[in-house]
Structure 1
């Protein structure tokens, strides 16, 4: 079988991602212009540089003036355009982006909550936990445990020299 060949899993994963990007591009090009949202914001020549900064360094304490400068706009013009294009204010968007990153790390990673808080720009675990709870309705540690329980055992196929081995394991990351 082709699935037992070395690298087959990696190749099929990369191919699926490439196909997804192509389908998304085709959809965007053929549909009506986007009215509001992150995808439209990334397509906006003035707003996109600021978004790239926020996405590239979400833990930085971004100031509206810095983001406006990256966009080549005044603070007021930038804030108005960002909200018009993205649907939310710039710093509200940044908080939302940080929370999406936190959710992913809590689901899939093993970083301690205190370290995650600092990496996302929060000055304390408490400040991060309060923000996370406001967005998700759950404290970070509780969220991690709930996501691990929901995921349950995972079956993973590992291709070693043409032989497929199946292993079962529980998300150990949730225990940390």
Structure 2
């Protein structure tokens, strides 16, 4: 385990970039990147991936249909982000009869898949991101079933490049491939978040942490909480930072974040605590003080209420299972 150290320096990341700070508390990895080539008339039906999925079209035109939605045309240079909770179809046209797609990584084809006739009229790349709950919370309520990224958007070229790099690392088995994949996944997640902030953070989407982070009126109050999570912030102080009345601030915060401001502060403290307990040997008393708890017992009670485990048991479980998810 790492030597004892303090909690992550909240509020210092990229000049107070709250999305970047949230990503520091989350982990992600790119699972099963794959290349699809196709020609002629073809259509493949995929089961719900259960993970955030990113598609990029390198050549030709592909029609993407998520269960319950309308077909979305993706031309070369375009990409799409799928929430991953519904089955979907990739096809040469919206009316082509579908066949079930093979498993993501076939024993013979590896990360490469072909559909239809001989040739490469269409070439797509996809990648699935496994996220821990800290990152999933960031996306909750913000991601529509399909978010289309046109070829001229700032994120589409980066998505294509990152997926191509991930596929290359997986298919060539070069030294350090697993390390490279581990670093490409967070970069891909950053592009997804940027796309959501630029194209998906609107009133038509339900409340969620991402919408709150993207809101300029709430940003000053959020920066205060992230910069000093140990301070016993009051609703009046936070509202004053946002230059709003307490009533208006509390209502706007709940409408966008899905929880009241002080409930958000409690969740932030728990995420910071879990991050530290999973990754360091910092004494529990230090963790408690860093988060504003007057005693170890008060911290332990709050932590167990949020996670179902005492801080000590959570740390022990994290040591035996490094991928133990965050909760709260």
The two structures share one fold, judged by TM-score above 0.5: yes
Shift of 1:24: 2.2
Number of residues of Structure 1 aligned to a counterpart in Structure 2: 147
Instruction: Please tell me whether residue 140 in structure 1 is matched to residue 311 in structure 2.
Output: yes
Instruction: Please tell me whether residue 115 in structure 1 is matched to residue 303 in structure 2.
Output: no
- Counterpart of 2:263 in structure 1 is 92
- Counterpart of 1:20 in structure 2 is 189
- Counterpart of 1:69 in structure 2 is 240
Structure 2, gaps ≥5 residues long: 1-172, 324-328
* Equivalent-residue separation in structure 2 for 1:27 and 1:87 (angstroms): 17
- Counterpart of 2:296 in structure 1 is 125
- Counterpart of 2:216 in structure 1 is 45
Instruction: Please tell me whether residue 106 in structure 1 is matched to residue 265 in structure 2.
Output: no
* 8 Å Cα contact 2:207/2:256 also seen in 1: yes
* Equivalent-residue separation in structure 1 for 2:314 and 2:239 (angstroms): 35
Over 3 Å counting, the alpha-carbon distance change for 1:125 and 1:12 in structure 2 is same
* Equivalent-residue separation in structure 2 for 1:20 and 1:131 (angstroms): 30
Shift of 1:60: 1.2
Query: Which has the larger Rg?
Result: 2
- Counterpart of 1:81 in structure 2 is 252
Over 3 Å counting, the alpha-carbon distance change for 1:86 and 1:19 in structure 2 is same
RMSD: 2.3
Shift of 1:12: 7.5
Partner secondary structure for residue 151 of structure 1: coil
TM-score scaled to structure 1, two decimals? 0.74
Which has a greater percent of helix?
A: 1
Partner secondary structure for residue 141 of structure 1: helix
Picking from 45, 54, 58, the partner of 2:229 is: 58
- Counterpart of 1:166 in structure 2 is none
Superposed CA deviations along residues 112-140 of structure 1, whole A, max 9, x for unmatched, are: 11110000011111111000010011110
